[in-house]
Structure 1
């Protein structure tokens, strides 16, 4: 096998653009998914039964179907209902909903891990329900679920490659384009594999730094 990576250099702008789109997709899905997850986890204990049923149905439906099918449904099926989304927007919506379903369960486990006595102590201090949630429940819950949440974000980064199936010009789609022009399959996908690995490693380092800065208080006295 004669390896030749030189032909790939002229496509460096396309690779950089693919990296940018991949990171943007990941950021959008992460932010939107965490908002959905925190809201869903909070409302899953609502006294309104239909709301609890809706959240549970959403979580089970998304978590038990392939993410690729969800992207296809949003991109190919929604136009029949009069809602046509470009590839990037369709992928963003699908990945956000996918991330949100997992985030609901992650946040729900974190909120449920807080001892009831700790909540009652906050209430005895005269804190409002929102203040108890903001200052007593949320910080330790976030610390408890941070490893799971950071792992899920990394999975979303890797899963963003599915957006290439609807022609969103993220990194994997860029790789397919370059491979079709150079016919250097091994070289192209080897480079893309290294890029994904580098992005994941960078995220892990960032998450480790954030964890040390944000959750420095002791867990025990």
Structure 2
């Protein structure tokens, strides 16, 4: 193979790469926070006593988990335009990510909530805790602690999935890399740089979540349990 690598022309567009990196980070951060909130709510609805609400929550989870993220993004960003609803591309991208990841979060959190023994709820009632205190301190916090490694993996995958949204015009890391490729014609170099940046970003996201877990779950920190 007679090919000479030249990364200088790719790195000359470092400002564009940093812009894409920042957009990826913003999309991931907003989608993670909102997706966790929506997913936890859906998980609670799936475990409620209301059959109609349970059915709707289950249908939501199954529909989202069994359809591609790209189709969901196309529907939100381009499909709604046909009915007069115009969403900025970034807003549509965030909403698409939130809808997608919330379905997976709901299943993870449902497993965590179902792992809480009923005896703990009875103990909370005996201690005189109200429903809100019981939910946050006896149900939600321990449930999240038990499934936290799964949540970390899911949100790392979410960050990587932002690359799909370049297909709908989002200028995240993959999207700007395609632009750089068309400007430099250095395909190998562009995708090597892109792969390294995604790898570093994945480790950074996992590291930040690990630090957050040590702050949120002091019991695991004292036991030295890996997250």
- Assess same fold via TM > 0.5: yes
Q: Provide the secondary structure at the position in 1 that maps to 2:47.
A: coil
Query: Aligned to 1:162, which of 158, 161, 164?
Result: 164
CA distance, structure 2, for counterparts of residue 45 and residue 139 of structure 1: 17
TM-score w.r.t. structure 1 length? 0.95
Query: Aligned to 1:39, which of 38, 41, 53?
Result: 41
CA distance, structure 2, for counterparts of residue 212 and residue 90 of structure 1: 33
Query: Aligned to 1:2, which of 1, 4, 9?
Result: 4
The offset of 1:52, in angstroms, is 1.1
CA distance, structure 1, for counterparts of residue 161 and residue 110 of structure 2: 23
The offset of 1:46, in angstroms, is 2.4
The aligned runs of 1:67-106 (5 Å cut-off) are 67-106=69-108
CA distance, structure 2, for counterparts of residue 204 and residue 47 of structure 1: 36
Name whichever of 70-79 and 117-126 sits farther off: 70-79
Measured on the aligned residues, the alpha-carbon RMSD in Å equals 1.4
Q: Deviations over 1:115-172 (max 9, x none)?
A: 0001110001111111111111122111111001110000000000011001111000
Q: Provide the secondary structure at the position in 2 that maps to 1:3.
A: coil
Structure 2 residue runs of 5 or longer lacking an equivalent are: none
For the pair 1:23 / 2:25, whether they are aligned, the reply is yes
TM-score w.r.t. structure 2 length? 0.93
Number of residue-to-residue matches in the alignment: 220
CA distance, structure 2, for counterparts of residue 146 and residue 192 of structure 1: 28
Structure 1 residue runs of 5 or longer lacking an equivalent are: none
The aligned runs of 1:136-147 (5 Å cut-off) are 136-147=138-149
After the TM superposition, which parts of structure 1 deviate over 6 Å for at least 4 consecutive aligned residues?
none
Q: Deviations over 1:67-107 (max 9, x none)?
A: 11111111221111221212211111111100110111111
Structure 2 match to 1:193: 195
Query: Aligned to 2:119, which of 117, 120, 126?
Result: 117
**Alignment check: 8 A CA contact 2:47 2:110 kept:** no
CA distance, structure 2, for counterparts of residue 112 and residue 138 of structure 1: 10
CA distance, structure 1, for counterparts of residue 167 and residue 105 of structure 2: 24
CA distance, structure 2, for counterparts of residue 212 and residue 126 of structure 1: 29
